[in-house]
A and B are shown apart, each in its own frame.
Chain A
Amino acid sequence: MSTRTGTGSTSAPVRRRRADRGAWLAFVVLTAPMVVGLFVFKYVAMGWGLLLSFSEARGTIALGTWVGLENYRTLLTDPRFRDSLAMIVVFTVIIVPLTFALALGLAVLVNRLRRGRALFRTTFFLPAAVSYVVASLIWKMSLFSGVPSSVANSLAGLVGQEPIAWIATVDPPLYWVVLVTVRLWLQVGLYMILFLAGIQEIPAELYEAAKVDGAASEWKLFRHITFPMLRNTSVAVVLLLVIAAFQAFDEFYNLLSTGLAGAPGPDGRPPLVYLYDVALVQQNYGVGSAGAFLVTLLIVVVTLLQSRLVGLGRRDA
């Protein structure tokens, strides 16, 4: 632009500035609602929550009675809260690899289809559009209800098994079957789509070259080409899965609570359900906020550790 001469040299920058101003205005107008909303409903709330976590706030969200780290100490010495943290770690360790393997497997299979790829892709993805609450109620009342006519118990009946109270049986912990299957069904489709997108980015020449070099079996192609080429996708998927697992609330609350009769009992109670009870039922907003920040801290630490391990953000050599 600066090398331009002649008549255009005076008018072009003016027009440009005008255009810039227009674009700037449009940008501000279009993003303002989101930015303002984000600020008011997220950042102010988060800041207030942080302050609350250092104050005694029972039945009020007013600040003023500072207690330092007392709320954090209360929670960390509470065996039930520590149980809930241990519980969510176990849940994460189970659900993340399971979802990862299933989503990747489905993506590879769907990608190999010659016909009906769109149909299967849509079919597997559809559950991702179902709400966690709705799915939990279907799992609770129809698939895994304790009556002999539920789907799971009908199947069990075929092999001569007595009807089982799936959700109420905590020793052995059969409720885990319900918790794990509902989340798998809900989230596998979404991650399958992510893997599928990753697979379709892999250049076909790589496979051709490998075949020329004698790598004939599908397994070898998967192991030496598909999987390594999906590294970035895999890292992102694991990251998202871990965060989603730590934030688990909906299906736990809806599967394990007893309606008007009360919040879930001590078995299968993740930290967010525990804190929901502390803040919104017991009305202890100080301790509840402290717990929210402890869970956040846990997620941040795990995510950082994980990126360190897999080298997220490191440039590919």
Chain B
Amino acid sequence: MLAMRGTTGLTRRRFLGTSLLFVGGAAISACTTDPIGSGSGNAKVTLNHWYHEYGEQGTREAAMRYAADYTKENPDVAVKVTWVPGDYKTKLQSSVLTPEGPDVYEVNEVTPDMVAQQQVVPVDDIIGEARGELNEHAVSPLTHSGRTYGVPMIIDVMLLYYRKSLLAAAGVQPPTTLVDLVSAAAKLTSGKTKGIFVGNDGVAGMRQLFPFSVGQSALTDRTVSYATPEIADALTVARRMFTDKSMLLGYPTEWYDPGAFISGAAAIVWGGLWALPQIQRELGDDFGLIPWPGHGASGRPVVILGGWSQVVNGKSQHIDEAKKYVQWLWLRNEEIQKDWALSYGFHVPPRASLAASAEPLKTGAAKVAVDLLNQYGIRNTALWAPSVAKPYEDAVSDIIKKNADALPTLTEAARRSQAALDQLPKV
């Protein structure tokens, strides 16, 4: 009996101990994702600043350094940087529903819903004269009714990378039309190398560019305009890359990672300028850059612009302080803007004067990419919200992967996209 009581006591105590350890462990691991302050004990205002997790090494430390520098210059304002790993957009969107959301955060585009729900405020006052030199396509997804709701931080350039040696070995010239691209992809496919990689599902990287590649666009103001015979034809031609089995599918990394290109699993890949330093390091000069080729009589080559912009939360208690901080970071402080765009990965600064004066962008492949960006860069407007884009994305998947009849599939999808577009608030 005594022994039994002894063991029970021990087990209970051990159980309690283990539970405490467990809870402690959970608390500690929770702390690691906690915001990191810029550490000013006597600050009157604390701004919460959210970043998504940039893949490049050193970005997190840089973001914290900028925040600390700001507090040094402005002792009244402390900045807490939160580095959000994983699914940033979902975490952000649930957070800005509440009054406790971040004061400053980054987005790819500002949707009309975000404006209607006061998740952003106009920042034209802090942009001021810099407006003229900001890249038009970087600002358009942040603009509604002439008001700008964000400050672009970096421009990402997306285009085609090709492996010179593999093309030479197959006797293939860099393609200049979609038909060329399809036949090049087929010729380049042999053994462990596939001709082209645009995403593991066969559509993700390239689906948005077809309307531009025939000289049209998915939206014309508030009208959905992607159900045209030209776009349908481009998709039908592109489908051959899928049915010919010249696409790399199901690779362990995604198209935005240069892994498949560097390993030689694909000879032509849709990729981003951010991967350029790594590709240069691994492949030397055995690669070239081209835009996605145009298609049809009025077709034009496509380079897609992406990138991140900083917005101020309309529900913030410190809108003015947050605006000043954003202005200091992304409009006034050229050193920081250059450092952020060029020291870690490779991005283009959205301000023309800065992009022109950035040494690393003046030579070699980076210069080619910037020239292609200036010549062919384009992207969808702020009205291309997820609810509007979804029917189009599903339709493209059906056409490419299941041989669906292109024009009727696009027409049906356009009807649903239009309904979604009509529901977007007019802001």
Chain B contacts for A168, CB-based, 8 A: 200-202, 249-250, 401
Contact B203 A146 (CB under 8 A): no
Is B117 positioned at the interface, with any CB of A under 8 Å from its CB? yes
Majority-rule SS of A interface residues: loop
Is A111 positioned at the interface, with any CB of B under 8 Å from its CB? no
Interface positions of B (Cβ within 8 A of A): 89-90, 93-94, 97, 111, 113-114, 116-117, 119, 192, 199-205, 245, 248-252, 254-256, 265, 385-387, 390-391, 393-394, 397-398, 401-403, 416, 423, 425
Contact A258 B97 (CB under 8 A): no
Contact B402 A171 (CB under 8 A): yes
Contact A280 B252 (CB under 8 A): no
| A165 with B403, Cβ < 8 A, contacts A61-B97, A277-B390, A280-B93 known | no
Contact for A144 among B250, B254, B391, CB less than 8 A: B250
Stretch at the interface among A92-100, A200-208, A261-269, A306-314: A261-269
Query: What 1/0 flags go to A268-307 for Cβ under 8 Å of B?
Result: 0000000001101111100000000000000000000000
Contact A80 B402 (CB under 8 A): no
Contact A59 B116 (CB under 8 A): yes
Chain A contacts for B252, CB-based, 8 A: 141-142, 145, 147
Contact for A258 among B204, B385, B425, CB less than 8 A: B204
Contact A59 B113 (CB under 8 A): yes
Q: For the complex, give the distance between the alpha carbons of A283 and B111 in Å.
A: 10
Contact B249 A266 (CB under 8 A): no
User: What range describes how many residues of A lie at the interface?
Assistant: 35 or more
Contact B90 A280 (CB under 8 A): yes
Chain A contacts for B394, CB-based, 8 A: 80, 265-266
Contact B386 A167 (CB under 8 A): no
Contact B119 A59 (CB under 8 A): yes
Is A42 positioned at the interface, with any CB of B under 8 Å from its CB? no
Chain B nearest CB from A255 CB (Å) reads 10
Contact for A165 among B250, B398, B425, CB less than 8 A: B250
Contact A283 B204 (CB under 8 A): no
Which interface residue of B94, B111, B250 has the most chain A CB atoms within 10 A? B250
Q: For the complex, give the distance between the alpha carbons of A266 and B393 in Å.
A: 9
Identify 29 residue pairs between A and B in the complex whose beta-carbon atoms are under 8 Å apart, listed by A's number. Answer: A59-B97, A60-B97, A140-B250, A145-B251, A146-B248, A146-B249, A146-B251, A165-B250, A167-B201, A168-B200, A168-B201, A169-B249, A170-B401, A171-B402, A258-B199, A258-B201, A261-B205, A265-B203, A265-B401, A266-B394, A267-B397, A267-B401, A280-B90, A281-B89, A281-B90, A281-B93, A282-B385, A283-B386, A284-B387
Chain B contacts for A171, CB-based, 8 A: 401-403
Chain B contacts for A165, CB-based, 8 A: 202, 249-250
Chain B contacts for A127, CB-based, 8 A: none
Contact A147 B113 (CB under 8 A): no
- Beyond A144-B250, A280-B93, 5 additional contacts (C-beta under 8 Å) are A59-B111, A145-B252, A167-B201, A259-B256, A281-B93
Which interface residue of A58, A166, A167 has the most chain B CB atoms within 10 A? A58
Contact for A261 among B113, B255, B397, CB less than 8 A: B255
Contact A167 B93 (CB under 8 A): no
Q: For the complex, give the distance between the alpha carbons of A148 and B250 in Å.
A: 10
Q: For the complex, give the distance between the alpha carbons of A313 and B385 in Å.
A: 50
Is A260 positioned at the interface, with any CB of B under 8 Å from its CB? yes
Q: For the complex, give the distance between the alpha carbons of A59 and B111 in Å.
A: 10
Contact B90 A265 (CB under 8 A): no
Closest 3 CB pairs of A and B: A146-B250, A165-B249, A59-B113
Chain B contacts for A256, CB-based, 8 A: 201
Contact A148 B192 (CB under 8 A): yes
Chain B contacts for A280, CB-based, 8 A: 90, 93-94
Interface residues of A in 151-195 (CB under 8 A from B): 162, 165-171
Contact B200 A60 (CB under 8 A): no
Contact A59 B250 (CB under 8 A): no
Q: For the complex, give the distance between the alpha carbons of A258 and B401 in Å.
A: 15
| A261 with B204, Cβ < 8 A, contacts A165-B250, A171-B402, A282-B387 known | yes
Considering only CB atoms, which chain A residue lies closest to B242 in the complex?
A168
| A59 with B401, Cβ < 8 A, contacts A166-B250, A266-B394, A281-B89 known | no
Contact for A145 among B89, B250, B401, B403, CB less than 8 A: B250
Chain A contacts for B256, CB-based, 8 A: 259-261
Chain A contacts for B250, CB-based, 8 A: 140, 144-147, 150, 165-168
Chain A contacts for B249, CB-based, 8 A: 146, 165, 167-169
Chain A nearest CB from B186 CB (Å) reads 15
Chain B contacts for A58, CB-based, 8 A: 113, 116-117, 423, 425
Chain A nearest CB from B249 CB (Å) reads 3
Q: For the complex, give the distance between the alpha carbons of A205 and B131 in Å.
A: 89
